Amino acid sequence: MTATDYAIELVVAAARAASDKLAQQIIAFDVSEQLAITDAFVLASAGNDRQVKAIVDEVEDKLRELGAKPIRREGHKEGRWVLIDYGDIVVHVQHEEERQFYALERLWRDCPTITLPADVVSRER
């Protein structure tokens, strides 16, 4: 089983939104084989709390345009690691320090990555 077309559409929209707000290290994983609760993860990071919040706001705006509403949202108040659960996908926007410490890429490295379009620019630190 692989991520649904709808999940991929949401992943691409979330990644583009993160890119528009200058997110760093944008990557997406198809976790459908490993988790029954979601199809994909999108990971993005930012250099400061304000940028984390700006990325989250843009992701929510762009996915709302597609009719997607978050089931839950955690961490927005602190602005260090915000998780937005849409059911089909989960978006993680992390401060750089949390990204390095928790290293979600290592946890999910056995899952296939989802190829993002060329207009998704993943800025490096």
Q: Is 32 contained in some domain? A: yes
Q: Structurally, how many domains does the chain consist of?
A: 1
CATH number at residue 53: 3.30.460.10
Sign of CA dihedral 6, 11, 12, 16: positive
Structure pTM? 0.94
Q: Strand pairing of 89-95 and 81-85?
A: antiparallel
Segment 76-125, tens digit of pLDDT = 888 899 999 999 999 999 999 999 999 999 999 999 999 999 999 876 65
State the amino acid at position 123 in one-letter form: R
- Alpha carbon 8 to chain centroid, angstroms: 12
Tell me the per-residue pLDDT of 49-84, one tens digit each, with 9 for 90 and over: 999 999 999 999 999 999 999 999 999 888 899 999
User: What are the CA-CA distances from residue 41 to residues 3, 20 (Å)?
Assistant: 10, 18
C-alpha–C-alpha distance, residues 95 and 52, integer Å: 6
φ and ψ at 111, to 5 degrees? -85, 145
For residue 54, give its domain range. 5-107
* The pLDDT value given to residue 125: 56
The answer to the question of residue 124 being in a domain is no
